[in-house]
Amino acid sequence: MNRLLALTLAVTVSSLLGACAPGLKSYADPTYRKVMAKQLTPLNPPQKVRIEVQFKQQGEPKPDSDLRLRGHVERALAASGVLTSDPQAPSVLRVVVNNVGDMGEARKAGIKSGLSFGLAGSIVADEYQFSIIYTDAAGKKKDVFSRHIMRTAVGDAALPAGIEPRTPSVAFGQIVEDAVVAAIDQWQEAHVIGGRP
């Protein structure tokens, strides 16, 4: 899902080698979570923005994933209570995500798991880089760049204690929310959107 090409290949290789491909267990690395949505200062009503998104894999646009990314951004805005999606709004929120995960690492993990019939495992780190740009009705832009990591257990690898396993799609949604909420928090701190009381 969400263009985890490397992990898909790893699981496919594992299956071809005769192992049962286990369900992937992923999570958004909590060390990259700067702020929670409930910590933002909500606006009543939330400010309307037109959403633009682009998903990339190693810098190459992957338009098939844009719709999924848009859904995650809309859910993040709903959780924020600060912004809301409106295709007619003069203000724009543009979210560009580039998955720069190491495909070689994922391939090795999948082959290792396959050769051990799922008994060996690895935790694969998949990096996402976010460029989030807010353009107000007057055309003034503010941008935020951030990174986030999704970690996925391949084979029999165990997740850290206290981490609840998610599907890659759900973990990716959490990563998007973390990045969008952190950007809104910065803009509120700078009084770009709403400001702090």
130 CB-side CA count, 13 A? 25
Concatenated DSSP letters for 80-135? HTSEEE-TT-SSEEEEEEEE---HHHHHHHHHHHHHTTT-SEEEEEEEEEEEEEEE
Least confident window among 6-20, 30-44, 58-72, 97-111? 6-20
Neighbours of 178 (CB within 10 A): 24
Provide mean pLDDT across the span 18-26: 58
Q: Specify the pLDDT at position 158.
A: 85
Q: Residue-wise over 147-169: b if at least 16 C-beta within 10 A, else e? A: ebbbbbbbbebebeeebeebebe
**Band of pLDDT at residue 189, cut at 50, 70 and 90:** very high
Q: Where are the domains of the chain?
A: 5-189
**By C-alpha distance, which of 45, 43, 38 is closest to 194?**
43
- What are the tens digits of pLDDT across the range 157-168? 888 889 999 999
Provide mean pLDDT across the span 153-160: 84
Q: Which of 160 and 55 is assigned the larger pLDDT?
A: 55
**Band of pLDDT at residue 5, cut at 50, 70 and 90:** very low
pLDDT-above-70 percentage for the chain = 77
Cβ–Cβ under 8 Å, residues 93 and 73: yes
Our CA dihedral for 27, 28, 29, 31, rounded to 10 degrees, sits at -140
pTM of the predicted model over 0.85: no
Q: Specify the pLDDT at position 115.
A: 40
- What are the tens digits of pLDDT across the range 39-51? 999 999 999 999 9
Q: Specify the pLDDT at position 19.
A: 35
Indicate the average pLDDT of the chain. 83
- What are the tens digits of pLDDT across the range 75-132? 999 999 999 999 999 999 999 999 997 655 444 444 444 444 344 578 899 999 999 9
Q: What gap in Å lies between CA 11 and CA 19, rounded to an integer?
A: 9
